[in-house]
Amino acid sequence: MEQQSIQSEIRALLKQRNAVLLAHNYMRDEVQEIADITGDSLALSIEAAATDADVIVFCGVHFMAESASILAPEKTVLLPRLDAGCPMADMVDAESLRKMKAEHPGVPVVTYVNSSAAVKAETDICCTSANAVKVVQSLPEKELIFTPDRNLGRFVSKFTDKKFHLWEGYCPTHERLKPEAVLALKEQYPDAPFVCHPECNPAVSALADHVCSTTGMYSYVTENPAKRFIIGTEAGILWRMKRENPEKEFILASPALVCPNMKLTSLEDILEALQTMKPVVKVPEEIRIPAKRALDRMLAIPRD
């Protein structure tokens, strides 16, 4: 079946099922192209929970579908590829986190949303890459446990004098971007600002003109008058950047910036999920309730 006809069939089934199709910013181009909403993981879940759709089809990875289930337990959440995981999220588990909490009694746990529901349930407050600094600054305590991303934790620690107990997790895709590659591109394109994600290694972030979340990157490249940019995050982000800024040039900082898990979901997978209404991701209530508490605490922090 041709790509266009699969896309048409998906759109027809979405209407039939009263379903909303969410695509993360790192998804394949043809998946983002037909999504109802594209964005970062938590923003997608929040928007999906607010819709009147009965079904959420989440084109992303497992922890993202769990977040949708946490925030919208009354909806059916489909994850077209159940094997689409997140290596960083897998680097921490609830039992190991409980042990770390026991070593630091009374110290609050801040957990990046790129984590499992079970880990969120052991957490005091969640954060995103966009609001992590505000979340940490909102805590009255002078020290905290930050999990699972050591790179994001180190980036945030520069904006506060609090003591961080860092979990040694990281994103393998962002970690593959080396400072040498960035320096070579900056030399080749001296007029191009380098913007990167805080999941990058600190040596890479130190070279950036701007460090921000994927949502922040879209705003930055649109508002900045520069005509070309070096982009330090997963390749999928380029599709929307090019669509929104056709007169600008976007250079991926490294060909290694491709997440195999984010690229697993195909149009065929989405079609099959809508046909069979499987696989369903459902977070059990005993995990969902404390996990939602950690998310709600984050969402209660006023936005700028």
Residue 61 belongs to a domain with what CATH number?
3.40.50.10800
Reported pTM: 0.95
CA 231/CA 234 separation, integer angstroms: 8
Q: Establish if 244 belongs to a structural domain.
A: yes
Question: pLDDT tens across 203-233, in order?
Answer: 999 999 999 999 999 999 999 999 999 999 9
Mean per-residue pLDDT, 34-39: 95
Residues 149 and 295 in one domain: yes
14 and 81 housed in the same domain: yes
Q: Are residues 160 and 293 in the same domain?
A: yes
Residue 83 has pLDDT above 70, yes or no: yes
Q: Are residues 68 and 35 in the same domain?
A: yes
Q: Quote the percentage of the chain above a pLDDT of 70.
A: 99
| 134-143 tens-digit pLDDT | 999 999 999 9
Judge if 7 and 80 occupy the same domain: yes
Is residue 246 in a domain?
yes
Claim to verify: residue 143 and residue 181 sit in the same structural domain: no
* Domain that includes residue 98, residue range: 88-170+287-299
The phi and psi torsions of 253 (rounded to 5 degrees) equal -65, -20
- Summarised one tens digit per residue, pLDDT across range 159-188 is 999 999 999 999 999 999 999 999 999 999
| 74 within some domain | yes
The pLDDT tens digits of the residues spanning 244-300 come to 999 999 999 999 999 999 999 999 999 999 999 999 999 999 999 999 999 999 999
Q: Are residues 182 and 166 in the same domain?
A: no
Residues 260 and 60: their CA atoms lie apart, in Å, by 11
99 and 141 inside one domain: yes
Residue 123 within any structural domain of the chain = yes
Indicate if 159 and 294 belong to the same structural domain.
Answer: yes
Is the pLDDT at 1 greater than 80, yes or no?
Answer: no
Please give the pLDDT value at position 85: 97
Where residue 304 falls among pLDDT bands split at 50, 70, 90? Answer: low
Judge whether 257 lies within some domain.
no
Position 304 in a domain: no
Instruction: Tally the domains of the chain.
Output: 3
**161 and 294 belong to one structural domain:** yes
Give 88-139 pLDDT, tens digit per residue.
999 999 999 999 999 999 999 999 999 999 999 999 999 999 999 999 999 9
